[in-house]
Amino acid sequence: MILDRIALALTIIGALNWGSIGLFAFDFVAWIGGGQLALFSRIVYTLVALAGIWCISILFRPADEPLFSRD
């Protein structure tokens, strides 16, 4: 499912951003977006949060259902 791939990509982006905050005290999204409170940054943060919530559904899918299909 294409939505699964998009959600996974956004979740990975969020994880890498949190890693850069934890390791280097550098918020990449805020740097690109013009600060943490800038509209662009807030949109990215919101999309990453929604993607993380969507990825929770992957955990509860039946084991016989493929995580990523080719459709």
Is 0.75 topped by the overall pTM? Answer: yes
The answer as to whether 40 is a domain residue is yes
CA dist 45 to 41, 60, 62, 63, 69, Å? 6, 24, 29, 30, 27
The answer as to whether 50 is a domain residue is yes
The answer as to whether 66 is a domain residue is no
The answer as to whether 19 is a domain residue is yes
Residue 40 domain boundaries: 2-59
The answer as to whether 12 is a domain residue is yes
Question: What total of structural domains would you count in the chain?
Answer: 1
- Is residue 68's pLDDT more than 70? no
The answer as to whether 48 is a domain residue is yes
- Is residue 65's pLDDT more than 70? no
